[in-house]
Structure 1
């Protein structure tokens, strides 16, 4: 068989791209430039990706630029992120301050700073009746109400003293215990004269001289808790003004006030402990009688470190925020 003639590739006419306007349309030089740039195929996709990236970059730049523009907008955006961190510390400090204020107010208003534990006195003898009457008298001196506190499970606060006695008292001792011996708590408030009254070297003996140390300890333990509450309330007003002004710098004053409030609370607790110890040196506890600090005293002890922690957070947030703002401002000027 005769062999087929080999095909020549040179005989195939070269193909030309089809014009979008049709086969008969004439292609201009602009179409060739678009073809070289990649209008079709993968080149067009790459151009779309580049345009999308340019748009996203432009939007991001406009967001960072803000009103100041350029590097100032970047600094303001960074400063805003820092403000969020400082605002978190500010909120935590406010919560600690609120808890410490509640604890301090509860400790001032309750009567369980110190508690005495003694055997129950069920008989209603003349001596017990006299002690109860002297305890309830407005002219009771330190020794009189202290003896009643020792004998009848007394509790002492900053404002009041309380004892536990039978509900119905008799001038004679009944043969057996009845329902009339249900125990009730009787409290007497310290008057302002008693709060500022001088303490004597020998309690109850006005001729023994004035004990200046116990006198000023008693006055301090009464006044310092109110000073602490006042400082925290004033600091809260400054913190509220800082929130309204949207600035953390005024909270430096709030932190300083909380620091002073913590020192006052700590001083009040220390004065109370020292005063109780000195009193027990003058008046020894009877047998089978014990004393311990109550939960009101514990609330005051817990309030002091909370105030110190709140003060540290307030001062750190305000000082560091001010420092970062100064650095950002210097950067913008540069």
Structure 2
């Protein structure tokens, strides 16, 4: 094997491994989006925090959104967290409380007016929410199958399977990018349907940034695998033609 192709495969493998680590960390953490609440609003958030902590309104998107707005909430793909105040001591102390979303919770419908089930279903927000957690899982699955194909190529001592590995990594990069866009669009549409109160500021967290970084890593790894496979095949064809001549 030419050193150029071996170098491309090694660099592609490292990029693929980094993308898996980044994407797995992003999926498993809750720092996709943060709300920062002013102290004045935080003092009137006991009811919203109580509903959130007790999980009485899991299907009520408005109750959850109010708690996130008023209690320095954090959004993740599988968790939502708020900062609560504990008053059972002499001095109030902040606490971090998270609610995990089950697989069935991810498929709950979103309504045009959050919290009002009498309104029609907002299909755009519903499917954006579903895609934002499904696409990263699809991307990780594609990378796993790409790794299996690549290992098969190593066993066979052939670069041809790298073509399939590259294609799978490119698809994984597109899926990861789609998940990032779906999440950002979902947050925007939620805030348009249920605007945050004055004094509440929102920004994307480091989990969101990790997902953004993992997408180009997957695309670059896929491009390197494809280049190594196609270039080696072309070189082999030229060598074969030269020998025949």
| TM-score, normalization by structure 2 | 0.94
Residues 115 and 152 of structure 1: CA distance in aligned 2, closer, same or farther (over 3 Å): same
- Look up the SS of the partner of 1:192 in the other structure: coil
1:159 aligns with 2:70: no
Q: Name the residue aligned to 1:304.
A: 215
Q: Name the residue aligned to 2:29.
A: 110
Q: Name the residue aligned to 1:236.
A: 147
C-alpha contact 1:112 1:156 (8 A) present in aligned 2: yes
Task: Find 2:122's aligned residue among 190, 211, 217.
Answer: 211
Per-residue deviation at 1:133? 2.7
Residues 124 and 116 of structure 1: CA distance in aligned 2, closer, same or farther (over 3 Å): closer
Alignment map for 1:83-94 (pairs within 5 Å): 83-94=2-13
Per-residue deviation at 1:184? 1.4
CA offsets 1:268-289 (integer angstroms, 9 cap, x no match): 0010111110000011111111
Q: Name the residue aligned to 1:255.
A: 166
CA RMSD of aligned residues (A): 1.7
Task: Find 2:17's aligned residue among 89, 98, 104.
Answer: 98
C-alpha contact 2:138 2:172 (8 A) present in aligned 1: yes
Per-residue deviation at 1:247? 1.2
1:279 aligns with 2:196: no
Counting matched residue pairs gives 243
- Look up the SS of the partner of 1:329 in the other structure: helix
Per-residue deviation at 1:219? 0.3
Which blocks of at least 5 consecutive residues in structure 2 are unaligned?
none
Larger relative strand fraction: 2
CA offsets 1:183-207 (integer angstroms, 9 cap, x no match): 1100001122220011000000000
C-alpha contact 1:116 1:289 (8 A) present in aligned 2: yes
Per-residue deviation at 1:159? 0.1
CA offsets 1:237-294 (integer angstroms, 9 cap, x no match): 1111112222111100000000000000000001011111000001111111100010
Q: Name the residue aligned to 2:201.
A: 290
Q: Name which structure has the greater RCO, CA cutoff 8 Å, separation 6+.
A: 2
C-alpha contact 1:121 1:165 (8 A) present in aligned 2: no
Structure (1 or 2) with the larger CA radius of gyration: 1
Distance in 2 between residues matched to 1:303 and 1:212, nearest whole Å: 28
Q: Name the residue aligned to 2:57.
A: 139
Alignment map for 1:1-334 (pairs within 5 Å): 80=1, 83-120=2-39, 128=46, 130-136=47-53, 137=55, 139-140=57-58, 141-166=60-85, 168-169=86-87, 180-334=91-245
